[in-house]
Structure 1
Amino acid sequence: MAEPVTALVVDDEEMTRAIVAGYLARIGYRTLEASSIAEGWAILSNPAHTIHVVLLDRRLEDGDGLELFERMKSLPTLAEIPVIVQTVSDSSADIAAAIRAGVFYYLMKPYDGALLRSVVRSAEERSGRLRSLQGDLRSRADAIALLRDARFRFRTPQEAQNLAITLSTIADTAHSLTFGLSEILMNAVEHGNLGIGYDAKSELKANGGLIREIEARLASPEHRDKYATLHVERSDTRVSFTVTDMGQGFDSSRYLTVDAFQSTATHGRGIALARMVGFDQLTYVGTGNRVIGVVNLDRPADPVAD
């Protein structure tokens, strides 16, 4: 029998911890609770516990929750656990800082159970995909360092994720670039080629049907021959990623800033965060079915675990 997914909830409010535990119990998750950085670290450091995802409050009685996250990154056994930060702050600067530090997602309180479950599931699933690719990522990095001009064609979310993870090694800002590339490549598949709009995705995520809908559309006569392309160009000073899909485009201006209506949604802030965190420039061209992301190679590197 497979062990249950275990979430560690670090929050100094007992009621919040209980509510989160109740939400996650509905999808079969086990939860452990801590009210401080010290308690959270004690649980994480205990080899008897296998933690799959951490929900971390920013404001704890003994400091900023990101301090615990920084400790986690210092140990290889903990560094790859996805961390979801939860806070009352809706500051775009705070969100960007947390994403740059490497957290998986940033939830604004209060939020509903459907949103929490969706984000936690996504974190655990994405963590599994990352682990499956890490075995040969170093050898790929050596080859990617030689890249100067390349074109890729992709159709599925899995292919988009594989490309994002592999190609992010082209720059020192690997974590941030993985996040940014993943967002624009996944958007090309889901929103561009498959035509899953913002409202439809909200409903599908709420009822747990998004993956089934993506698979159905990929196999449908209307969409099965569609693909997106990625053109990568590298010079000595910068890398340019051009993503083009076969969709009709969209109004990108609506999603280029992290605004109030997006802060409590299950999705929609990815493009804004990709622009803030993943790239030095992010520009949508024409109707919105082409996007160009630029990374300067002299950009400061992502934080590296000791």
Structure 2
Amino acid sequence: MPHRLLLVDDEPFNLELMTELLETAGYETVCADNGEQAWQILQQQGCTLSMVLLDKMMPGLNGFDVLKRIKNTPELNFLPVIMQTAIGSPASVQQGMEAGAFYYLTKPFSRDMLLAVVKAAQSHWDRHQAFRELAKQHLDALAHLQQAEFRLRTLKEAQTVTALLARTCTQPEKVATGLFELMVNAIEHGNLGISYADKTRLQSDGGWEEELERRQHDPVLGQREVRIFFERDPACCRFTIQDMGDGFDWQNYQDCPAASLLASHGRGILIARKLSFDNVEYQGNGNRVVASVLQTA
């Protein structure tokens, strides 16, 4: 079933252009030319949408106003929002990031950039939906799990372990999204040694999946493991993820740099911090991260 996108812009030409590009790429679209109309659609049809492309500057209810309403509505707050703006300054992007926009498009944007950012947001939504479905399975006994350790190498294994461990928490689909992002970072950037710049270049050249596959079959890199430790105490559930890589300068990534929201990837830590966990702490040289979520009644 095609993904359904809400496009919000007070410029008819922009709506027409985005509609044509996105529908040609296989998406379904619904349009709004102001914030009030967009919010009505979200209230009535939010459960049918996969993401929102939201213009920042609009008269009346502006983009930030709509974004804040989305993030303050439990049924909508995991809906990816792509902010469109003619201002790509770090301060402007930081403002949107703090409000919950993890994806940005600076006008004018190319067809390729539009589709790359939409695909990144789509992946975020697809993972959330998959974990939401898995969370409905009858695994209630995991609510009583006190300690566990897992070892894994591949993204497929990470997805399986994520779906299982998330069930230890009262909001499994919320925890799963961030937990998986942290595991992906441990595998790709930690064990396989793929830097942020490498991934940017490979995605741009179309060689990302081939290189990932090559490194996973490398006789040295492919044998590295990610270790996942789970423990529960009366106050919280705690997940410790440790890879076998060289680490990174984690002090510079306490918050996602605003400029990275203009790229097609690099939001994993931000998603974990802002959406999934109450605390995320990197330790040592950065190849060990502890994420915790408070227990609720």
TM range (shorter): 0.7 to 0.9
* Residue 288 (structure 2) pairs with residue 290 (structure 1): yes
1:54 aligned residue (27, 52, 55):
52
**Residues 52 and 241 (structure 1 numbering): CA distance in 2 closer, same or farther, change over 3 Å?**
closer
Provide the rounded CA distance (Å) in 1 between the counterparts of 2:148 and 2:82. 36
Unpaired segments ≥5 residues, structure 2:
86-90
1:34 aligned residue (27, 32, 35):
32
Worse-superposed segment, 150-159 or 27-36: 27-36
1:72 Cα offset (Å): 8.5
Alpha-carbon contact 1:118-1:206 (below 8 Å) kept: no
Worse-superposed segment, 140-149 or 197-206: 140-149
Cα-to-partner distance string for 1:246-265 (whole Å, 9 max, x where unaligned): 21211112222233432322
Provide the rounded CA distance (Å) in 2 between the counterparts of 1:246 and 1:237. 29
Provide the rounded CA distance (Å) in 1 between the counterparts of 2:108 and 2:147. 44
1:241 Cα offset (Å): 1.0
**TM-score normalised by the chain length of structure 2:** 0.77
Alpha-carbon contact 2:93-2:261 (below 8 Å) kept: no
In the alignment, residue 257 of structure 1 is paired with which amino acid? D
Cα-to-partner distance string for 1:38-81 (whole Å, 9 max, x where unaligned): 5446767999xx7554323355445232377479865xxxx699
Provide the rounded CA distance (Å) in 1 between the counterparts of 2:108 and 2:142. 40
Give 3-state SS (helix, strand or coil) of 2:148's partner.
Answer: strand
Q: After the TM superposition, which residues 1-306 of structure 1 pair with which residues of structure 2 at under 5 Å, given as runs?
A: 5-21=3-19, 23-24=21-22, 27-37=25-35, 39-40=37-38, 51-57=49-55, 60-63=58-61, 64-66=65-67, 69=70, 74=75, 82-88=79-85, 90=92, 92=94, 94-98=96-100, 105-107=102-104, 109-110=106-107, 112-113=109-110, 114-140=112-138, 142-172=140-170, 174=172, 176-298=174-296
**Residues 23 and 183 (structure 1 numbering): CA distance in 2 closer, same or farther, change over 3 Å?**
same
Provide the rounded CA distance (Å) in 2 between the counterparts of 1:93 and 1:297. 30
1:238 Cα offset (Å): 1.4
Unpaired segments ≥5 residues, structure 1:
100-104, 302-306
1:233 Cα offset (Å): 0.7
Percent identical residues: 32
Worse-superposed segment, 206-215 or 34-43: 34-43
Provide the rounded CA distance (Å) in 2 between the counterparts of 1:234 and 1:222. 34
